Structure 1
Amino acid sequence: MAGRWIETWEPEDETFWREKGERIARRNLWFSVLSEHIGFSIWTLWSVMVLFMGPEYGIDPAGKFFLISTATLVGALVRVPYTFAVARFGGRNWTIFSAMSLLVPTLAAFWVMEPGTSYGTFVAVAALTGIGGGNFASSMTNINAFFPLRKKGWALGLNAGGGNIGVPVVQLVGLLVIGTLGASHPRVVLGVYLPLIIVAALCAALYMDNLRPVKNDTGAALEAVRDPHTWIMSVLYIGTFGSFIGYSFAFGLVLQTQFGRTPLQAASLTFIGPLLGSLIRPVGGRLADRYGGARITLATFVAMAAATGVVIHASGTASLVVFLTGFTALFVLTGLGNGSTYKMIPGIFHTKALARGLDGEAAAAHGRRLSGAAMGLIGAVGALGGLAINLAFRQSFQASGTGTAAFWSFLAFYGVCVAITWAVYLRRPAPVPARAQLGYAEV
C-alpha cells in the first residue's frame, strides 16, 4: 500500500522535537483520534442496538448480554494482530484500511436489523463489530512511537480518551433516534455512521504519516511476553479499561432489566458515564505525568472499590438515584485509571532500560521497543475484562434477576488490583543504579 513514509524519527532529541517532530506528531494524533473514535462507536454499536430490540425480536435479557459479550470478545482478540499491523504496513496505511473495514459490520447490521432475523445471525453480525475494538490497539501503538517519553502520558491519554468518546457518542445518536423517531428505526443510527467511516479513512490518507523506523520486532514481542510486568499491567488494565468497556456495553441493559427503564429512559442515561469517563482519561495521563502513574492508579482503584460499594447498596435497595451516582463515579474513575495505567507501561520499560545501564536515546529506544510490543497484549487482555463483566452480569441476572452478585465480584477484583499496585510499584520500588532517574513509583 503506497503512502508517505518518514525515514528518520528521533522524538527524544529536543531540537528535532521542537523544530519538526512536535508538529508532525500532533497532526497524526488528531487524525488517529478521529479514526479510533469511529472504531469505538462501531465496536459498542450493539450496546445501542439492543435498546431497539423489543419483545417482537424474541430475545431475552440473557440473550442480549450474550450479544454484547460476543462483540467484546472479538474486539479483545483482534487487538493483538492490529498492534503488529502498524509496523508491518505503516501507521497511516493501516489506519486507512482499518477505518474502511468498519463498513463491513455497519452494512451487515443495516441489512439484518429487523424482527424475524435469527438469533444466530445477530450473534454473527455482533461479532463483526468487534473489529472496531482493534482500532484502539493499532492507534495507541502508532501514537506511542510518535511522542517522547515525557509527553506519552498526555498524548496516549488524549488519543485513548478521544477514541473512548465514540462510546457515548453512538449512545447519544441512539438516544436522538429513539427520542425523535421511536424504537423501531435502528437503521437510522447505522446510516449516520456510514459516511463518517469514509471521512475518517479519507482524513487518514490525506493527513497522516508512516514511520519507517517502526518495525515489528519478534524478539521484543517474546521479551515482553516473558516479562512479568506485562502480565501485571494486563491485570491492572482489566480493572480500568475492562471495567470501562464492560460497563459501557452493559449499562443500558442493566437499567432496563433491573430498574424497568423504557428504551428511551435507558438511552437518556447510558451515555453520561461513558462520556465523563472518556473526557477525563487525558487528565489521568496528565496526573500520571506529574505525580507518577502508580500513585494515581492506586488511588483510582481504592476509589473504584468505594464506588462499587455504593452501587451494591443501591442495587440491594433498588434506589435508582444512588445507583446512577455510584455507577457514574465508576465511569469517571475508570477513565482516570485508563490514563494512568497506559502512562505506566512505557515508564516501566524505560526504568528497566536504565537499570540495565542504558541511558539517553539508547534507554528511550529500548523502552519504546518493549512498551510498543507489550501494549497490544496488555490492551487485548484488558479488553477481555469487558467480556468478564458482561458474562458476570448475564449470570447474575439469570440467577437472581439483579446485578448485585456481579458487583460483589467486581469489588473483590478491585481489592486485588489495589494490593498488586501497592505491592509491586509502590511498597518497595526495585533498586536502580544512581544514573537512573526514574523509579517505579514515578512510572
Structure 2
Amino acid sequence: MKAAIEPTTGSTRTANLVLATWVSAINFWAWNMIGPLSTTYAGDMRLSSTEASMLVATPILVGSLGRIVVGSLTDRFGGRTMFIAVSLASIVPVLAVGAAGTAGSYPLLLVCGFFLGIAGTIFAVGIPFANNWYEPARRGFATGVFGMGMVGTALSAFFTPRFVGWFGLLTTHVVVALTLAVTAVLCMVVMRDSADFRPNTDPVLPKFKAALKLPVTWEMSFLYAVVFGGFVAFSNYLPTYIKTIYDFSAVDAGARTAGFALAAVLARPIGGALSDRVSPKYVVMTSFGGTAVLSGIAMLQPPPDLWSALTFISLAVFLGIGTGGVFAWVARRSPAQSVGSVTGIVSAAGGLGGYFPPLVMGSTYDPVDNDYSVGLGLLVVTALIALLFTALRLRAYEPKPAEGGPS
C-alpha cells in the first residue's frame, strides 16, 4: 500500500496529528480489552492471582516486542500504511478474545490475548509519523499530543465493563472490532504522510542492529521502561488492585482506573511541551521523584475514596509527564533516518516495563494481610535508581543529530 504524501501546512499537519491520536486511542482500547474484565474472568473461571496476572500481562508482552518490528517497518513504509495495517490486523484478535471469554476457556483466552498484543504496537508508528510532520522545536509537543492516544486505556477501563453489562461480552468486542475497521477506512481516505518523509529501504535487521549501537537507544529504553511501564502496568492491573484492596465492583474499579489513565494521558503532552522549553532531563527527573514518593504513599493503603484517588491520580500525572519527557528526548537525540527503529526499541522497552509488574504484583500479594507492599516497594526502588541514573549519567543538553549526532 503506497502512502500518499502531503505538503506540510499548519491545518494539514494538525489534522493528521489528531487522526493519528485517534488511531492510537482505539488501538489502545483494543489492547486493553482484557484488563478491565480481569476480575470478572478471575471470578467466573476461578483463577488464582498468578493466573489472572498472566492473563493481563500477555497482551502487554506481545504488544511490546512487536513494536521493534513495527517501528522499523514505519521507517520503510510510512505511518499511514502502518496505521492502516495495525488497525486491520487487530480486528480478528479482538473478536477472538470476545469469543474465548464467552466460552469461558482460560487457555483459549490466554492464546487469543497473545495476538491481541498486535494492537499495542501502534505506538511505534505514531512517533516517527509525528516527527516527520513537525519541526524539531515542536516535536516534544507533537509526540506528547500523539501520546494522548493512551486515553484508549481510560476509555476501555470505563466503558468496557459497562458495555458488557449493557450489550453482552461478545457484542462489546464486535463493537470495538467495527470501530477499528472504520478507523482503518478513515486513514485510507484522509491520512497522509508528511512531504518530509523519506522511506528507509534498508533491510530491517541491519537497521535494528544500527539502532542498538546508539547510546540513546539504551538510555531512553531504560527510562521509558520505568515511566511507560508503570503506566501500562497500573492501567491493566489497577482494576484487580482496587477490587482486592478496596472491594469495589468491576464497574467501579474500572471507573477509578479510567481516572488514573486519563490523568496520565492529559499529563503526557504537558511533559512534551515542557521538554520543548527546558531540558527533558529535568522533566524526567521530576517524574521519577514524584513516582517514588507516590508509590511509597500507596504502600500505606490510603483510605478510599478521596485519599486513594488523590494518591493514584497524582502518581498518574508524574508518570504521564515522564512519558512525554522521555519521548521528547528521543525525538531530539535520534538520527532522522533511524527515528522509527529507535522508537520501536524504546517503546518496546516501555511495554516490557509494563509486562513484569502485574506478574510481580500477583506473585507477591499477601492474602493474609491483603497487601501489595512488596510490589509497590519495588517500584519505589526502581524509580529512585532511574532518578539517580538520569541525574548522574545523562547530560541536560545534547548536540543536535544534524550537528553532532546522538551521544
Q: What TM-score do you get using the length of structure 1 for normalisation? A: 0.84
Decide whether the 8 Å contact of 1:39 with 1:136 is kept in 2. no
1:343 to 318, 328, 333: 328
- Quickly say closer, same or farther: Cα 1:23–1:89, change in 2 above 3 A: same
Decide whether the 8 Å contact of 2:95 with 2:170 is kept in 1. no
SS for the counterpart of 1:261 is: coil
2:385 to 404, 416, 421: 416
1:384 to 344, 347, 352: 352
Deviation of the 1:166 alpha carbon: 0.4
Residue 67 of structure 1: aligned partner: 55
1:199 and 2:178 correspond: no
1:166 and 2:152 correspond: yes
Distance in structure 1 (CA, Å) of the matches to 2:40 and 2:376? 26
Residue 375 of structure 1: aligned partner: 343
- Quickly say closer, same or farther: Cα 1:22–1:437, change in 2 above 3 A: farther
Deviation of the 1:3 alpha carbon: 4.3
Give the alignment of 1:120-139 within 5 angstroms.
Answer: 120-139=107-126
2:18 to 30, 34, 37: 30
Aligned Cα root-mean-square deviation (Å):
2.6
Distance in structure 2 (CA, Å) of the matches to 1:319 and 1:38? 31
Q: What TM-score do you get using the length of structure 2 for normalisation? A: 0.91
Residue 306 of structure 1: aligned partner: 293
- Quickly say closer, same or farther: Cα 1:22–1:216, change in 2 above 3 A: farther
Decide whether the 8 Å contact of 1:311 with 1:322 is kept in 2. no
Give the alignment of 1:31-430 within 5 angstroms.
Answer: 31-53=19-41, 55-114=43-102, 117-161=104-148, 163-177=149-163, 181=166, 185-210=168-193, 213-217=198-202, 221-314=208-301, 321-349=306-334, 367-397=335-365, 401-426=370-395
Deviation of the 1:390 alpha carbon: 1.1
Question: 2:351 is aligned with what amino acid?
Answer: A
CA offsets per residue over residues 201-236 of structure 1, 9 Å max, x none? 011001112455131446654332112221111110
SS for the counterpart of 1:45 is: coil
Decide whether the 8 Å contact of 2:228 with 2:319 is kept in 1. yes
- Quickly say closer, same or farther: Cα 1:319–1:206, change in 2 above 3 A: closer
Decide whether the 8 Å contact of 1:42 with 1:129 is kept in 2. yes
Distance in structure 1 (CA, Å) of the matches to 2:5 and 2:140? 25
Aligned residues: 401
- Quickly say closer, same or farther: Cα 1:404–1:156, change in 2 above 3 A: same
Residue 364 of structure 1: aligned partner: none
SS for the counterpart of 2:371 is: coil
Larger deviation, residues 34-43 vs 23-32: 23-32
Distance in structure 2 (CA, Å) of the matches to 1:370 and 1:53? 41
Distance in structure 2 (CA, Å) of the matches to 1:57 and 1:221? 41
SS for the counterpart of 1:303 is: helix
Decide whether the 8 Å contact of 2:77 with 2:199 is kept in 1. no
Distance in structure 2 (CA, Å) of the matches to 1:229 and 1:87? 18
Question: 1:255 is aligned with what amino acid?
Answer: I
SS for the counterpart of 2:141 is: helix
CA offsets per residue over residues 392-423 of structure 1, 9 Å max, x none? 11111267642110000000000011001111
Distance in structure 2 (CA, Å) of the matches to 1:411 and 1:76? 23
Distance in structure 2 (CA, Å) of the matches to 1:252 and 1:388? 17
CA offsets per residue over residues 344-369 of structure 1, 9 Å max, x none? 112234xxxxxxxxxxxxxxxxx312
- Quickly say closer, same or farther: Cα 1:108–1:425, change in 2 above 3 A: same
SS for the counterpart of 1:214 is: coil
Distance in structure 1 (CA, Å) of the matches to 2:301 and 2:78? 48
Distance in structure 1 (CA, Å) of the matches to 2:184 and 2:252? 34
Decide whether the 8 Å contact of 2:361 with 2:372 is kept in 1. yes
Question: 2:131 is aligned with what amino acid?
Answer: N
Q: Please list every run of 5 or more consecutive structure 2 residues that lacks an aligned counterpart in the other structure.
A: none
Give the alignment of 1:10-25 within 5 angstroms.
Answer: 20-25=8-13
Question: 1:154 is aligned with what amino acid?
Answer: F
- Quickly say closer, same or farther: Cα 1:437–1:173, change in 2 above 3 A: same
- Quickly say closer, same or farther: Cα 1:395–1:320, change in 2 above 3 A: farther
CA offsets per residue over residues 144-173 of structure 1, 9 Å max, x none? 222211110010000011x10000011121
Decide whether the 8 Å contact of 1:295 with 1:426 is kept in 2. no
Question: 1:423 is aligned with what amino acid?
Answer: L
Decide whether the 8 Å contact of 2:42 with 2:48 is kept in 1. no
Decide whether the 8 Å contact of 1:61 with 1:257 is kept in 2. no
Shift >4 Å, 4+ stretches: 216-220, 318-321, 398-401, 435-440
Distance in structure 2 (CA, Å) of the matches to 1:372 and 1:197? 23
Distance in structure 2 (CA, Å) of the matches to 1:57 and 1:127? 18
Question: 1:338 is aligned with what amino acid?
Answer: T
